[in-house]
Structure 1
């Protein structure tokens, strides 16, 4: 194993897990939070704490089956860098919202694509902090 990418398989698992949360049949996978996230883990988006601790992470990820039909974190990542227990990943994420009653068929109105730059801190093999900035991906390749 290349020591410079010791967490790459771990993050593939994290992002596969996140994508699977949209399947209403996977609600039990919220219990997998403990597999990837430390008990006191935090998600910080654009400078705002979005979740702190397991219960807030559970609420944060718990909305996925209700709000999203699909979440796809694209691989290969745009950027992947590791330095000790810090990992920087730049990636594109495609989110497709659930179709609501009365919404027109055949449109992509509920499809959003974002570019994310995230810095992950790893403690004892789990994510202790995720700091991210996101922006709507508009026409760049």
Structure 2
């Protein structure tokens, strides 16, 4: 093996890297990326996904989930499934979307947002749950 072969092996080696210098958050993200592969739809609107980072309740408004849209577009009124653990999904509807205290009609991939969910109890949702369109 020559020097170029060694460099190619170093660049294209897919072996796990030493994670002893990583923070807990970076380790958690690496574990998450190992087991989770987002799907993508062929046509626009066929697949949308939101990863929950926090959950709380607002008196008079309902359960709010905050997180990131990892694929597609979500709109107010969309019927979605809340996937918690290994269940098939809890059907619900997005009744409101907010970004940094600004009310929105829709959010797309890459956006951080808060969804107000209809008829969902705070105890039914936790961090890293997935919300997807039906």
TM-score bucket (shorter structure): under 0.3
Q: Which has the higher helix share?
A: 1
Which TM-score applies when normalising by structure 1? 0.22
TM-score normalised to the size of structure 2?
Answer: 0.23
Structure number, greater radius of gyration: 2
